[in-house]
Structure formats: structure tokens, C-alpha cells
Homo-oligomer: A and B are copies of this chain.
Amino acid sequence: MVRPTISETELLDAAILLFRTHGAEGVSLSKLSEATGLEKASLYYRFPGGKEEMILAVLTGVSQWLETSLFPALRQEGPPRKRAAKAAELLRAFYEDGKLSCAVDVLSLPGGSPRRHEALKAALEAWIAAFAAFARESGMTPAAARNVAEDALVRIEGSLVLSRALSDPAPFQRTLKLLPDLLTTR
């Protein structure tokens, strides 16, 4: 008579990994049950709203990672290029050298709840804003900084797609190496 019990954090991390790997439609409650050691009924106890509520929790978790890890690194003390390099290192780990997909990519296909798409959009916009605030330190106009920030996000998302489709981490790793330049120059 086993009572596995999994912590809130472990449960969320397992869900994040699954959804980032297979996307919203590619994850079933059976897969979640297998990955967490919890029976489906227990998953409904934790997330009464079912899969959609789990996806919202995943998006909250990813947003919290941005707010507590990536953004603080950008706002640290020190020379801008060194802080950008630290951000790149955090991203490298977060995406496992390009082997993991981005939630913004794989969870943004049509079909989810309006709340899902609002959360996704808000997270992406917060990320762009954080990059833009960083870029402005290099003396860019707000508009130029916004362009640079969007461009960096475009490259991160796009290189993750290429790395996944080619089974080759190189495109993503080249983008990360470029990141300090992207956010400080123009």
C-alpha cells in the first residue's frame, strides 16, 4: 500500500517538462500520471480543472522562472556584456542546450483557453520588456531597444525550432553566444 506523494514543486516540474516536450495536445493524463507517480484521480485533486489548469500552472511556473532567475540576472550589478552572458548561461541550462522546446512555442497553437493565451502573451511580453530595459542601458532609444529585444526573442525561438527539427543544438548555441552582442549593439 504505497502513498507516493510528490511535492508541489516536483509535480509542477514534471508537468513543465512534459508539456514543453510534447505540447498541450501531446500530453495526456496517463502520461502525467506515469511521469509523476500519481493516479489520474489524484491529479484531479491537485488540479480540479484538469489538463487546462495544469497548463496554466505550467505557464505560471515558467513566468516565475523568468521573474526570479532570468530578469534578476539582467538587472544585476556589473558590466552589461557580462550580465548578458550570465543570462545566456541561464537560458542554456533552461533549454538544456537546445534539446528542450520553449513553452511559448509549443503551447501557443490555437485551441487552448483564452486564459492560456493571455498568460502566454503576458509572459512573452514581460520577457521582451526585460530585454528592452536591458538594451536601453546601452543608450538606445526606447523604440530601438524594443526592436533589439524582439529580435533577440525571435532568434531564441527560431533557433530552438531549428535545433529541434535538425536534432542539432548548434543553431541555439550560436544564438546564445550572440546574445550579448544582440542586446548591447546597434
Contact among B117, B121, B162 with A154 in the assembled complex (CB-CB below 8 Å): B162
A153-186 interface bits toward B, Cβ cutoff 8 Å, 1 = contact, 0 = none: 1111111011011110001000100000000000
CA distance A154 to B124 in the complex (A): 18
Number of contacting residues on A, CB 8 A?
36
Copies in the complex: 2
Residues of A within 8 A of B (CB): 21-26, 101-102, 104-106, 108-111, 117, 120-121, 124-125, 150, 153-159, 161-162, 164-167, 171, 175
Specify the chain B residue showing the minimal Cβ separation from A123: B165
Q: A154-B155, A158-B155 are in contact. Are A165 and B108 (CB under 8 A)?
A: yes
Question: Which residues in B have their C-beta under 8 angstroms from that of A125?
Answer: 166
* Distance, CA A57 to CA B79, complexed state (A): 52
Pairwise interchain contact B153-A155, C-beta atoms closer than 8 A: no
Q: Are A165 and B23 in contact (CB under 8 A)?
A: no
Instruction: Please give 5 more A-B residue pairs, beta carbons under 8 A apart, in addition to A150-B162, A154-B162.
Output: A108-B161, A154-B158, A154-B159, A154-B175, A157-B157
